[in-house]
Amino acid sequence: MKTFKPNVLKWENSGNSADLRLVKTYMEMSLPGYRLEFLMSERNQSDTFADFDVMTKRLVAEVVIHIDMYSLKVARIR
């Protein structure tokens, strides 16, 4: 099985959480045979117009919690 190493995709708009589900579905259909895992971020949903640095800190905190919760071994975060 092939492994896909994703980059973080950040969606900047005033939409809602359903917007990225289409992107997720498209990627899954476009890359059959790849093991894809998605972390659909929730930390910034309530305040999408916050300062970029604040939103970045919230996202990083959410990723770190996910890594710790599942005891993942991370080699590199870009």
Could you read off the pLDDT of 13-55 as tens digits, one per residue? 556 667 778 888 888 999 998 888 888 788 888 887 888 999 9
Q: Does any domain span residue 78?
A: no
Cα–Cα distance, 37 to 19 (Å, whole number) = 17
Range of the domain at 63: 2-69
Q: Does any domain span residue 25?
A: yes
Using the structure block, give the residue that is written with the tokens 């916050």: 50
Cα–Cα distance, 50 to 24 (Å, whole number) = 25
Q: Based on the structure, what is the number of domains in the chain?
A: 1
CA distances from 17 to 5, 11, 40 (A): 23, 10, 8
Q: Does any domain span residue 77?
A: no
Q: Does any domain span residue 48?
A: yes
Cα–Cα distance, 27 to 5 (Å, whole number) = 13
pTM of the shown model: 0.60
Residue 6 pLDDT > 70, yes or no? no
